[in-house]
Structures are given as C-alpha cells and as structure tokens.
Amino acid sequence: MSIRIRRVVRTKSVLLVMVIAAVAGLSAMGAGIAAMSSSSEINACFKRSNGSIYVVGEGAERGSCQPNDVPIVWNVRGPAGPGGPAGAAGPPGTFTGLLSSPNGDFSIRVADTGIELKGPSSRIKLDSTGVVLEDAVSVHLKAGASVRVDAAATLQLQGSQVLINAGQAGAPAARAGDPIAGAKDPNSASVTGNVLTGSTSVFIGN
C-alpha cells in the first residue's frame, strides 16, 4: 500500500504518527474503503486533535477534509509483487478406460495390458506381444519418400498373390509351388505344371 501526503508536514514525529494512524485505522474504515472501490485512489483526512483518520469522497459521510485536517491519499491496489518460485512438477497424468466416438463406430481402449484402436472394420492393438494391424477390407501404407521394414528374424509376406511394383512393367516373381503355363518356343506345344523348387532368397530390382 502506497501513501502520499498532499500537505507538507513540518516535523518527522507528526509524519510518523500519521503513517501509524493510517495503518491502524484501516479496519475501522472498511465500509468507507469498500465505497471507494470504483476509484483507483482512496482519499482520507488525518485529524491532528485526536489522531484519527476518516475517509472522504464518494460513498463517505464527508466530501472533503475539515479545516486544519491533513489530506491523505493512497492507492486502492499497490504494485504487483515479485513472482514466487516455481512449484514442484506434478505427477504424470494417467488414463484408463474406453473412449468412443459419438456414433460408437470408433473407440480407443487404454489399460495396463495395452492399447487398442477400433473402427467399423479395422483394429490396431499394441500390447506386450507386439503390434497387430487388422482390417476386413484393405490396408494401405503410403509414404512420400521411402518405407523400410526391418526384422531381426523371419520376415513373412503372405497372400494369394504377391505383387511387387504392381502396375509397372516387369516380370512377376515365381515361388515354389506356383503354377506355370507356357511354351518352350512359339512353335511347340504348351507346357503346364508347377514350380518345383525356389531360391531361399529373391531379389527383384532394375
């Protein structure tokens, strides 16, 4: 709280009495201060005869100081103090349960055993055994640059038909057991059968 004296006080003792009286009289002036809350300053008067202080102005009993009383003014709100030290970090947030879309078609379930995302025909499950991606229709992985698949053990690609660079010119890769049909040359009879053996590793490139 800042206090500004609008009249020159000639002795230090009188100034000290005024400051002490101002602080001590705040509780007695509660109603007057509340009435002055619309202004940024509070106006009061110090009465020399008995050391009392009374509020003046809007909402108070008096509009100005009586003769020989000393005007006093202080701010309703003082300057902001320095910021306190930063508090300790709180515990990390946790969530468990099921969240669903408004229509119920999509959901996410979180538990200590894993996380599962579900849609009308698809599911992604993450747990201690690994990651499972399932879809009853199709799965499309698309990247603007490159896609890399690493496996520390066996990498398996299974399907009724495996296409590499599908839609581009190139010969298909044959697997052991795949059916074959053709001819040795244009003038010979057709040949049918199956691929009997295959390489343990296949590289297809340009």
- Predicted local confidence at residue 28, as pLDDT: 39
Within 8 A by CB and 6+ apart from 185, the residues are: none
Residue 112 has pLDDT above 90, yes or no: yes
Min mean pLDDT across 27-31, 75-79, 148-152, 156-160 is at: 27-31
3 state SS for 46-99: ECCCCCCEEEECCCCCECCCCCCCEEEEEECCCCCCCCCCCCCCCCCCCCCEEE
Q: What is the pTM of this model?
A: 0.41
Amino acid 124: pLDDT: 96
**DSSP single-letter state for residue 28:** G
What is the share, in percent, of the chain residues with pLDDT greater than 90? 31
Residue with the larger pLDDT of the pair 33 and 116: 116
Residue 71: phi and psi, rounded to 5, are -70, 140
Is pLDDT above 70 for 83? yes
Q: How confident is the model at residue 78 (pLDDT cuts 50, 70, 90)?
A: confident
Q: How big is the CA angle at 160 (ends 159 and 161), to the nearest 5 degrees?
A: 85
pLDDT of residue 93: 87
Per-residue pLDDT at 197 exceeds 50? yes
Indicate if the pLDDT at residue 178 is higher than 80: no
